[in-house]
Amino acid sequence: MATKHVKEMEALKEHLGKHQLKLTRQRELILSAFLRQEHITAEAMYHQLAKSDPHLGLATIYRTLNLFCDAGLAQARHFGSQTKYDNVSHKGHHDHLICTGCEKIVEFENEEIERLQEEVATRHGFTIKTHRLELYGLCTRCRD
Amino acid sequence: MATKHVKEMEALKEHLGKHQLKLTRQRELILSAFLRQEHITAEAMYHQLAKSDPHLGLATIYRTLNLFCDAGLAQARHFGSQTKYDNVSHKGHHDHLICTGCEKIVEFENEEIERLQEEVATRHGFTIKTHRLELYGLCTRCRD
DNA sequence: ATTGAAATTGATAAACTGTCTCAAAATTAT
DNA sequence: ATAATTTTGAGACAGTTTATCAATTTCAAT
């Protein structure tokens, strides 16, 4: 268990050291749980961890997930009214095909599109940190 | 004034008719003001309209902008803690480069990306009605 | 034009998400 | 172990959006 995610743990420790922050039981716990996810909200993580750690506060989850963002381990993304924290080590799969009929969501990735996005950004002097691509339409079943 | 935006007005009326909703003074007013914008928040629209119509309620703005989304005239976009409503009639300019430093928004269009989106959708059996592409990062100034 | 059923509005309460506060507890360097 | 500093948990708080509901407006049918 402690032997999984060693690389991310090291990255966190390095960030903590650089900013005179401390390594706590909660930060280890939340990192370990976070790395098992592809993307998750603070609220969802709160409920999930409540089973094993009923006294872990919601504020701590928020603080820690934001810390992970600073450390480059996570990326915040606004989806609906909530913020989802993406696990950066699971690259790709950020893009969605969404059926407006049955609300089904299909994840996809397209390298060519990603490349063109970089190109557009560079042309405008931007450095992309993250992106969102959502295609709305009808799936095969809902079209009939 | 009433001769501007006739097409959008018709689109709204069609949507209202289909859903047994009514055309009200407020809906006309808000549509007219909305179509002058490229994208705006409910709060900003509230303050803007307060000058000419001090008794227009904030809830009505929210309800109406969400109605425009249902009618396909607007598209909601969550940014930071607020929701921005994009004017869909500014066609071909749906895609945004957004600076997370200064919140500057650059609009762009890329035919090749659009083509690839269609391709991805077709491969999954989807028929695209609309889409959203947002690239988040830092602009030249904010990177320094 | 009047009527009446149904939808809409405005004002405000409430809900929701995320941050702030602060005393108590945990961590780290000495 | 001690002391200085950071972190935590619990709840208060703030900002944004939605729900409530009586009063008003719309619209179709007289």
The CATH number of whichever domain residue B132 belongs to comes to: 3.30.1490.190
CATH code at A47? 1.10.10.10
Residues 42-101 of chain B whose Cβ lies under 8 A from any Cβ of chain A: 78-80, 97, 99-100
Question: How confident is the model over B5-33, as a mean pLDDT?
Answer: 96
Contacts across the A-B interface (CB distance below 8 Å): 106
Residues of chain A contacting B126 with CB distance shorter than 8 Å:
97, 99, 106, 135, 137-140
Number of domains in chain B: 2
Amino acid B93: pLDDT: 63
The verdict on B68 and B25 lying in the same domain is: yes
Considering the domain boundaries, does residue A1 fall inside one?
no
- The answer as to whether B24 is a domain residue is yes
Considering just the CA atoms, what is the radius of gyration of chain B in Å? 17
Tell whether B54 and B82 lie within a shared domain: yes
Within an 8 Å CB–CB cutoff, is residue B115 touching chain A?
no
A82 and A99 share one domain: no
Domain termination site, one of A45, A60, A87? A87
Q: Please give, rounded to a whole number of angstroms, the shortest distance from the CA of B119 to a CA of chain A.
A: 10
> Does position B98 have pLDDT exceeding 90, yes or no?
no
Q: What is the pLDDT of residue A7?
A: 94
Which protein residue's Cα is closest to nucleotide D25 at C1'? Answer: B24
Strand D: list positions under 7 Å from protein Cβ: 5-12, 15-20, 25-27
Domain of A22, in residue numbers = 6-87
With bands split at pLDDT 50, 70 and 90, how would you rate the model's confidence at B3?
low
Alpha carbon distance A143, B5 (integer Å): 30
CA–CA min distance A113, chain B (Å): 6
How many whole angstroms separate alpha carbon B39 and alpha carbon B37?
A: 5
Per-residue pLDDT of chain A (144 residues; tens, 9 = 90+): 446 789 999 999 999 999 999 999 999 999 999 999 999 999 999 999 999 999 999 999 999 999 999 999 999 988 888 999 999 888 766 788 988 777 788 889 999 999 999 999 999 999 998 888 989 888 998 887
Are residues A74 and A65 in contact, defined by beta-carbon separation less than 8 angstroms? yes
Burial class of residue B140, CB neighbours in 10 A (0-12, 13-18, 19+)? exposed
Residue B33 to residue B66: CA distance in whole angstroms: 15
pLDDT at B133 over 70: yes
Query: Is the domain of A19 the same as that of A62?
Result: yes
